[in-house]
């Protein structure tokens, strides 16, 4: 039996990281049955080495192995492996930790009529919560629920929020399986925005989206392509490709308003500047350039050929100033 299934994609290079995530699930202050599905994405560290010997009576753990395919594909494998009795799905990345009230608050907020839940969280090494730090969500615009702790119905267009300024983070999400059982991640987005596309499909299919302003998750510093990519990274061009693919797909499938179009145009220009900065960084340091990936970038954004020279001059002048 399982009331909640927790899907954890696993790829880490250090022992002990998954152990902390699992302990945070063990410490949830609910009595319902919890199934934990750890998906080993060909991790260098064996997940079994991080699984505690003593497991609470209401919790079961299974490990599913797959060939290395990225976090989206790993979460899909986990979703395909859950028990048929599952009522709710929760995502937890293997380097993150939940606060004890997370699942209890999510279940209370979802009630009987809501289908998708997310909460506030803390980024690594930061003391200020993300809702406050980013200022993208105004609590006054949303109706407080009479259930859960500091929980609200999202009162605006959640798709618009995701497109313009996403505030949903994976390890804070809990949703009702019966309503969203067919939603999956697009595995070809291995390096960026596979989660945003999942959220767009999930909130579109949901009756209500609810959230809590309480911090319910502490993000960690394990293997994270998104957080670790900087100038000269081996993943930088891969991430640029996924970012441009994401923008094109949103424009084709989800775009509804001029404000959304403006936000996506801004995102595309930011990606273009990052691409030029990456190329200049590599040229100056005589680092190799993957011309195949660069060609893929230009295929997804051919106008880059027009904007590229101007951006080179702009970035060069800024660094000389």
8 and 156 both lie in a single domain? yes
Q: Two tokens at 219?
A: 């993000």
Q: Two tokens at 140?
A: 């006054």
17 and 49 both lie in a single domain? yes
Q: Mean pLDDT over residues 288-311, rounded?
A: 79
Residue range 47-87, pLDDT digits in tens: 999 999 899 999 999 999 999 999 999 999 999 999 989 99
- Which of 202, 223, 244 is the last residue in one of the domains? 223
150 and 243 both lie in a single domain? no
- Which of 160, 195, 223 is the last residue in one of the domains? 223
156 and 244 both lie in a single domain? no
Q: Mean pLDDT over residues 238-253, rounded?
A: 95
CA 81, CA 215: separation in Å to the nearest integer?
29
Q: Two tokens at 57?
A: 């009576």
90 and 30 both lie in a single domain? yes
SS3 90: strand
Quick one: pLDDT band at residue 320, thresholds 50, 70, 90?
very low
Give me the domain span that covers residue 86.
4-223
216 and 255 both lie in a single domain? no
Domain count of the fold of the chain:
2
What does each C-alpha distance from 317 to 283, 310, 312, 321 come to in angstroms?
16, 11, 9, 6
Closest C-alpha to 240, from 270, 271, 268, 266: 271
The CATH number for 186's domain is: 3.90.550.10
Question: To 5 degrees, how large is the angle CA 276–CA 222–CA 294?
Answer: 20
- Which of 223, 244, 271 is the last residue in one of the domains? 223
User: How many C-beta atoms lie closer than 10 Å to residue 72's C-beta?
Assistant: 22
241 and 213 both lie in a single domain? no
213 and 147 both lie in a single domain? yes
177 and 235 both lie in a single domain? no
Q: Mean pLDDT over residues 175-196, rounded?
A: 95
201 and 296 both lie in a single domain? no
275 and 210 both lie in a single domain? no
236 and 217 both lie in a single domain? no
Closest C-alpha to 195, from 183, 205, 213, 207: 183
Percent residues over pLDDT 90 in the chain:
76
Residue range 131-167, pLDDT digits in tens: 999 999 999 999 999 999 999 999 999 999 999 999 9
């Amino acid at each position: 039996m399982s009331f909640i299934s927790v899907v954890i994609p696993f790829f880490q290079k250090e022992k002990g990281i998954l152990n902390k995530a699992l302990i945070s699930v063990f410490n949830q202050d609910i009595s319902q049955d919890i199934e934990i599905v750890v998906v080993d994405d060909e991790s260098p560290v064996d997940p079994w080495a991080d699984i505690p010997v003593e497991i609470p009576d209401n919790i079961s753990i299974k490990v599913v192995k797959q060939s290395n395919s990225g976090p989206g594909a790993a979460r899909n494998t986990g979703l395909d492996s859950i028990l048929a009795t599952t009522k709710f799905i929760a995502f937890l990345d293997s380097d993150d930790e939940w606060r004890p009230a997370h699942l209890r608050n999510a279940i209370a907020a979802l009630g009987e009529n809501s289908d998708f839940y997310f909460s506030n969280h803390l980024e690594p090494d930061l003391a200020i919560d993300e809702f406050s730090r980013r200022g993208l969500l105004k609590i006054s615009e949303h109706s407080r629920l009479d259930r859960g702790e500091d929980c609200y119905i999202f009162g605006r267009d959640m798709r618009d929020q995701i497109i313009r300024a996403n505030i949903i983070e994976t390890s804070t999400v809990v949703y009702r399986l019966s309503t969203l059982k067919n939603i999956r991640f697009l595995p070809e987005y291995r390096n960026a925005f596979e989660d945003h596309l999942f959220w767009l499909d999930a909130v579109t299919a949901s009756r209500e989206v609810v959230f809590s302003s309480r911090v319910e998750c502490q993000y960690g510093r394990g293997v994270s392509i998104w957080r670790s990519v900087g100038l000269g990274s081996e993943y930088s061009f891969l991430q640029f490709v996924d970012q441009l693919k994401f923008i094109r797909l949103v424009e084709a499938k989800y775009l509804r308003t001029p404000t959304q179009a403006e936000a996506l145009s801004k995102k595309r220009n930011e990606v273009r500047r990052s691409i030029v900065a990456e190329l200049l960084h590599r040229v100056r340091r005589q680092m190799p350039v993957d011309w195949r990936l660069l060609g893929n970038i230009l295929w997804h954004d051919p106008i880059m050929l027009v904007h590229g020279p101007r951006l080179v001059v702009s970035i060069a002048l800024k660094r000389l100033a």
